[in-house]
């Protein structure tokens, strides 16, 4: 066998083991017994130790030194393997295993503290996680910026300085749009109780409408909706509350965007470095365009209104226009995952600034709750009432995902660029969506984004699909146009 063939055979086994690790994480969030947290932490640490050893195996360096390739796919595989080898080799095996162990335990501790609204109960664990992640970031950064090194795990090639410039351009127009909207009367919202079983049945049907393949995927329930897996085994989760079926429906559509991306990657890339989404920003662009530009559009909500009436009967919304306004209702709220399109990115930017300060030691964990509450009051104009609505609402820091939050807003920016190009490519898009037919839209996204997997760099994928360098302009134009129409601005 050639050096390339030997390397890829070795890599295939590593990718398979990584999928098993991901499945353990899915199980922990959906089906694992509550008392199994300690054992699961040891299991996660053990498999992370195996993965770290494989990713730093000296044979990888030897193969990379002599490998000869002649094609685009081979070159892309080598780019990913080389990057992983060089980055992982900088992190001691002891540290990688300890991070896996501590973050697995931290997840359960966070969930209990959140349920009890007790940040002090979680703070010591968060300090431990943050200390480990700072150590890892310093090892990865060498003499460079530690936060940039963390960010590179989720959005290769991006830097905090570039993202901050983009976010600084977003913030003033979002704040102004929010203020203008909240001066107007709010549209009628939903009221009453909506059977949770009926919500799940409707959500599974909508998942299929958006192209999610149930033969290669699942829809389950979790406290915090997420997706995992790739190729022929993709898992997504959603959540239900009796008073808010939109939470279930749009969480499902959002996670279907992630899941469909993984299912639609070229099957030739299965269990190779190209067989997964190229970055979290690009991943988020798929979930957000499915959820918002498609799922919350006037055309699609007109169709969804009929499906809701079939599922729940008369629920007090008079017609399709009123339903569209209800779906896109802008109101004060604490929770990022439940936020409307106008305010969502303000939630993300709050977290982005706070975690950068934590990593840089400009903010310590003991002061985090107060800093969160102060920033929230400044950005949203009212006070956080309890930790589960504030600093404890997200799972990300408990599992060590520092550098992850900005990819949410970057994904929204990417989605704005893709939506603008999609409208040109499919001029009768609204006619299709009004019939509950997403095939033209999701097919365009599959062809131009999803099928490539990790073949190209993240920014390159968006530029190729949209025909221009990513910028915040299309997203802002879309938001101002849509909500200006709904609220008569």
Q: How many CB atoms lie within 10 A of CB 378?
A: 9
Residue from 15, 255, 262, 369 carrying the catalytic annotation: 255
Task: Decide: 81 and 11 in contact? Cβ < 8 Å.
Answer: yes
355 is catalytic: no
Nearest to 470 by CA among 408, 420, 405, 402: 420
Active site residues: 255
């Amino acid at each position: 066998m050639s050096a390339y063939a030997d390397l890829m055979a070795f890599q295939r086994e590593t990718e398979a083991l990584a999928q098993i690790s991901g499945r353990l994480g899915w199980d922990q969030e959906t089906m694992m017994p509550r008392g199994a947290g300690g054992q699961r932490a040891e299991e996660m640490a053990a498999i992370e130790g195996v993965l770290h050893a494989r990713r730093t195996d000296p044979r990888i360096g030897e193969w990379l030194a002599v490998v000869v390739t002649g094609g685009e796919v081979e070159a892309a595989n080598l780019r990913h393997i080389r990057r992983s080898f060089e980055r992982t080799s900088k992190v001691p095996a002891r540290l990688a295993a300890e991070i896996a162990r501590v973050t697995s335990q931290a997840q359960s501790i966070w969930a209990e503290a959140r349920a009890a609204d007790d940040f002090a109960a979680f703070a010591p664990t968060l300090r431990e996680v943050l200390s480990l992640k700072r150590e890892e970031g310093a090892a990865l950064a060498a003499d460079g910026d530690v936060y940039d090194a963390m960010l590179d795990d989720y959005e290769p090639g991006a830097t905090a300085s570039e993202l901050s410039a983009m976010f600084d351009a977003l913030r003033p127009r979002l704040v102004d749009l929010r203020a203008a909207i909240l001066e107007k009367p709010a549209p009628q919202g939903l009221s009453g109780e909506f059977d949770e079983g009926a919500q799940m049945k409707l959500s599974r049907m909508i998942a299929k409408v958006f192209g999610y393949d149930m033969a290669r995927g699942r829809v389950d329930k979790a406290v915090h909706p997420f997706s995992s897996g790739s190729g022929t085994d993709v898992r997504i989760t959603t959540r239900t509350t009796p008073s808010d079926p939109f939470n279930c429906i749009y969480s499902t559509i959002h996670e279907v965007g992630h899941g469909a991306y993984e299912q639609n990657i070229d099957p030739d890339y299965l269990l190779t470095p190209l067989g997964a989404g190229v970055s979290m920003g690009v991943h988020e662009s798929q979930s957000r365009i499915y959820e918002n530009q498609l799922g919350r559009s006037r055309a699609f909500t007109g169709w969804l209104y009929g499906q809701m009436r079939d599922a729940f009967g008369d629920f007090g919304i008079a017609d399709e226009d009123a339903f569209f306004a209800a779906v896109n209702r802008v109101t004060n709220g604490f929770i990022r995952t439940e936020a409307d399109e106008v305010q969502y990115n303000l939630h993300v930017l709050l977290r982005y600034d706070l975690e950068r300060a934590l990593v840089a030691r400009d903010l310590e964990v003991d002061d985090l709750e107060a800093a969160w509450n102060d920033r929230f009051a400044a950005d949203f104009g009212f006070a956080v009432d309890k930790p589960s609505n504030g600093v404890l609402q997200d799972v990300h820091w408990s599992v060590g995902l520092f550098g992850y939050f900005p990819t949410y807003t970057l994904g929204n920016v990417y989605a704005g660029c893709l939506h603008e190009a999609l409208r040109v490519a499919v001029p009768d898009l609204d006619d299709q969506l009004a019939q509950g037919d997403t095939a033209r839209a999701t097919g365009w996204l599959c062809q131009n984004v999803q099928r490539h997997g990790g073949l190209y760099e993240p920014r390159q994928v968006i530029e190729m699909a949209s025909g221009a360098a990513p910028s915040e302009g299309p997203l802002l134009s879309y938001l101002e146009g849509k909500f200006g129409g709904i609220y008569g601005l």
